[in-house]
Amino acid sequence: MVVSGSPNGGSTPPPPPPPPQEQANKYGFTKPISLAGPTDTDLQRNIELEKFLLDSGLYESNEEAATRREVLHRLDQIVKSWVKQLTRQRGYTDQMVEDANAVIYTFGSYRLGVHGPGVDIDTLCIGPSYVSREEDFFIILHNILAEMEEVTELQPVPDAHVPVMKFKFQGISIDLLYASVSLLVVPEDIDISHGSVLYDIDEPTVRSLNGCRVADQILKLVPNVEHFRTTLRCLKFWAKRRGVYSNVTGFLGGVNWAILVARICQLYPNAIPSMLVSRFFRVYTQWRWPNPVMLCSIEENELGFPIWDPRRNPRDRFHIMPIITPAYPCMNSSYNVSASTLRVMMEQFRYANKICDEIELNKAQWSALFQPYVFFEAYKNYLQVDIIASDTDDLLPWKGWVESRLRQLTLKIERDTNGMLQCHPYPHEYIDTSKLCAHSAFFMGLQRKEGVRGQEGQQFDIRGTVDEFRQEINMYVYWKPGMEIFVSHVRRKQLPAFVFPDGYKRTRIPRHVSHPAERIGDDATKCYSGSVSSEKCIKRKIYPEAVGRDQEKPEKRASISPQRLECVSPESCTGKSGGTAQMSIECIEGVRLAGSTTKDADCNCEIKSSDALPGSGISTDVADMQISEPDFIDSTNDRLKSRSEVPNESGVVNGDKARDLALDCLESAETESTKNLSNCREGVIDTNQRLDKVCNFISRAECSDCVPSANTQTLNCEVSYFI
């Protein structure tokens, strides 16, 4: 078993830094931007940063570290016994049974030495060629683990891009992968960094092995391991606080952040963590995506596994934020990133760069950089995805399946609205403890693309998009009765209480009171998305339905739906016709609907007519999903450059061309000022922009408490975006 012997989980002690004259060419494939070391001020600032990280509880206790080592040792014994059992059952000789072996490797944050308390351990089991993943690992070993008292929350995910089995062992979360190598006997000291381990194996096995191979390669390619670890621990903490840490949602995961930080360490080999954090944001706010981030040149091999190469692989040309793994076969580890999630991350990079500038000028403390992003104050409209199951055992795999497909909903919305409707998926899970059944919820912020004006009354009808998403979700091969998904639109003031800390829900401002923070005006809406000041007080515009304003303005454009609506109580929307499905619609505030006598914009209405809903004027025909080729982003002057203006169209960065291109980008990143940042209005939506929904509501007698509230329940959901 390969388990780190160092207290912080690192695989090797940090090597001594090479002499300055050797550093220019030792790390990475380009020269460093700067060989400067820390000043006295940098050293003091570094002490403050490390103290902040320690006070924030990012380091595990000695007791938890000992528990992790014990769990890994126990897991190693289990897989060895499992392989010997299979060897005996298949009629091998006694000597083969005695020699049969499997080993456990760690990778991810634990292998890199940046794990914190309570995080999971990424583990890889390497077994012989005659032990398969499909049957032996996901069936036989799964059943062995299921019968053990120490194992809880066992969840196999065989259909994932990297097949994995998730569970908790003595309370420690484990992600266990399996790789069957082309050996009859697996030696205890097998060297997985050697290319021979990749002979005669399939691609899922290659991807499983790559986690360990990449982690070890990263540690070899950074100038100072300890500085790398502290900086990475800091940046991961920042990303989680700002809501941009999640590979499955379309942001960046652990290996992505590790490669980005390692590249900064290569570019500033003598810098300490306080300097590296500042340089990180300085460089990546200027980075010209989709130019790739790489730690070394891409290696080709006679084994023939596909590598990231836009010249040969057309799909690679559509990756908009390529971050390339350093071990063969080199892959883009950030293929999940979409246009929307890249936009969100770039906003957060610019915000953090501004804070770091203030820290260097002694105008701010480190705590300002790590202020949490107030997601539920940033937008006026949200999609709520409720995930429901009969019990917690069913919810675990069902939630994992839905969460793994959420990024597809973002991509589909971008595709079907031509990028005009932007999504901000939030990677945090929320649980409504008041529900009797197992429940989980995820949210997405919605807003029209900034700077593009549409025609009055224009809608983005994404009914077909949501239906397509639901159809894909319902193809889950392990579906069981009780597994349901609800996709709903909620306004900011209608957000459920369970998304707020301690169940607190912001008090709604009376409509007849004009709050100073809600005054209309362009100046009042300019803010940095997620900035410290904006988190304390988000400036909004007055809602158009405020009392006293109806007489001053002409009547708002009515909904194009021809149905007669009648306000009823929420109770009247359920239980009719013996529990058959009833249609319900949420009255849109500020919009007077024909035939409606409503005075309360939050009331629920029953649709009397069964006529089909008219379209919004925008086609919802679903074509094959194609992601348009991304433009190069010139961050230094905030303009888009077409591919014809950028050299090296293929996107490949290798050799001298790579060095010239990278240095051209990075030297400007080091020298140009980033003081003047564009105003970010992503959290503000014009008052004449509206969301509408028409959804089928199904009352369930067997679990009525599981159905979302009247404001959010939907199976077939229309979300119309009024501009």
Catalytic member of 80, 84, 236, 539? 236
Phi, psi of 559 (to 5 degrees): -60, 145
pLDDT at 456: 55
* Distances, alpha carbon 486 to alpha carbons 442, 446, 706, in Å: 11, 17, 11
- Tell which residue, 696, 695, 693, 689, has the closest CA to residue 719: 693
Amino acid at 424: H
Comparison of pLDDT for 49 and 517, the residue scoring more: 49
Q: How far apart are CA 358 and CA 361, in angstroms?
A: 5
The answer to whether residue 122 is catalytic is: yes
The answer to whether residue 109 is catalytic is: yes
| Structure-token match 């239980």, residue found | 575
Averaged pLDDT, 34-39:
94
Averaged pLDDT, 674-694:
33
Structure tokens at 475: 């193809």
Percent of the chain topping pLDDT 70: 65
pLDDT in tens, 633-653: 333 333 333 333 333 433 344
Phi, psi of 271 (to 5 degrees): -80, 150
Q: How far apart are CA 52 and CA 367, in angstroms?
A: 8
Catalytic member of 42, 136, 175, 216? 175
**First and final C-alpha spacing in the chain:** 59
pLDDT at 496: 92
The answer to whether residue 120 is catalytic is: yes
**Does the pLDDT at position 310 exceed 60?**
yes
- Give the three-class secondary structure for 582: strand
What are the residues facing 152 on neighbouring strands?
168
pLDDT in tens, 2-18: 444 333 344 444 445 55
Q: Are 214 and 331 in contact (CB under 8 A)?
A: no
Sign of the CA dihedral running 373, 376, 378, 383: positive
Count of other CB atoms within 10 angstroms of residue 334: 26
Longest CA span, the chain: 92
Q: Are 437 and 706 in contact (CB under 8 A)?
A: yes
- Give the three-class secondary structure for 29: coil
pLDDT in tens, 573-621: 333 333 322 222 232 232 222 223 333 333 333 222 223 323 333 333 3
> In the structure, what pLDDT confidence band is assigned to residue 458 with cuts at 50, 70 and 90?
low
Structure tokens at 615: 């379209």
pLDDT in tens, 201-212: 988 999 999 999
pLDDT at 706: 54
pLDDT at 708: 52
Catalytic member of 11, 27, 84, 122? 122
Sign of the CA dihedral running 429, 430, 431, 435: negative
DSSP 702: G
Q: How many residues does the chain have?
A: 723
Comparison of pLDDT for 644 and 428, the residue scoring more: 428
Q: How far apart are CA 168 and CA 269, in angstroms?
A: 39
Catalytic member of 26, 31, 92, 120? 120
188-192 contacts at long range (C-beta below 8 A, 24 or more positions apart): 188/1, 188/101, 188/103, 190/103, 190/126, 192/105, 192/126, 192/216
- Give the three-class secondary structure for 293: strand
Q: Are 210 and 325 in contact (CB under 8 A)?
A: yes
Q: How far apart are CA 626 and CA 182, in angstroms?
A: 38
* Average of per-residue pLDDT values in the chain: 73
Catalytic member of 178, 245, 284, 426? 245
Catalytic member of 4, 11, 109, 338? 109
